Amino acid sequence: MIKILSSILLALLLTACGSEDKSEGKTFNTEKHAEKTMPKEIDKVAKKVTTSPVETKQEKPTIEKESTEKSTKATPEKLVKNLFKLTTLDGKILHVDEAKDGIIFQEHKGKVVFLLFFGYRCPPCLGEIPILKALTAEKHKDLAIIAMEVQRLPSDQLKLFQKDKEINYTLLSGEEASNSQFISYIGQRAQWGGSIPFLVAINPHGEVKVVHVGGMGSNQFKTIYEKLAQDK
């Protein structure tokens, strides 16, 4: 089920690769900063990524109208610029800024961003790859797809995986140190327990609107994209 909550969150739970992770009631914390992430927490979520598939009943997602009530959460006093510098599989750098209700990828400002966490041996994750490739092939100028591999596949093997699957969107390896810290950061802010596939969808203003655990179909991805693209 998907719920959009007052410029913060739209959450649902479908089939996940790993232990069941109930998404209901989760929010994307708008007050947690990188400097509050203690060293002992780094990579904590990455180590919790579960790999054995479970069977859960899939429900057709619905998008509810956003509440007109104003959020009562306090706005962070200071938003962090260059919160993270992520390294893509082809060696490029993605600069991540903190936003009021989410995060902003500097290289993709003004776009809808699908930030996905997946595993190379997770069946639901593999099932989403053709869908994401098709979305990329459609050349939506206002959509960026960024996928982080979190089942610890070495970068050189991930490159072979990318070539074999003919993946045409941005890939990152969770083995990179800065990328691993980012996984932990997202885990804390999104209350993510480690089940994959995991989607964080961000509107053009950098606001996290969707937090989703489990595999999705083409229509579901397109519905989310079309909804968030209207937030310009």
Let me know if residue 207 belongs to a domain. Answer: yes
Please answer whether residues 171 and 149 qualify as being in contact, where contact means their C-beta atoms are separated by less than 8 angstroms. Answer: yes
Task: Give the number of C-alpha atoms closer than 13 A to the C-alpha of residue 156, restricted to the C-beta side.
Answer: 0
Q: Is the residue at 96 inside a domain?
A: yes
Domain tally, the chain: 1
Question: Residue 201 sits in which domain range?
Answer: 4-21+28-50+82-229
User: For residue 61, is it within any domain?
Assistant: no
Whether 65 maps to a domain, the answer reads: no
Residue 215 located in a structural domain = yes
Q: Which residue has the tokens 């994401």?
A: 132
Specify if 124 maps to a domain.
Answer: yes
Q: What is the pLDDT along the chain (232 residues), one digit of tens a residue?
A: 333 333 333 333 333 575 444 444 455 664 444 433 333 433 444 445 443 333 333 444 434 444 334 444 444 456 788 889 999 999 999 999 988 889 999 999 999 999 999 999 999 999 999 999 999 999 888 999 999 999 999 999 999 999 999 999 999 999 988 899 999 999 998 889 899 999 999 999 999 999 999 999 999 999 999 999 998 7
Residues comprising the chain, all counted:
232
What CA dihedral angle connects 125, 232, 209 and 2, to 10 degrees? -80
The whole-model pTM stands at 0.73
CATH code of the domain covering residue 185: 3.40.30.10
Per the domain annotation, does 175 fall within a domain?
Answer: yes
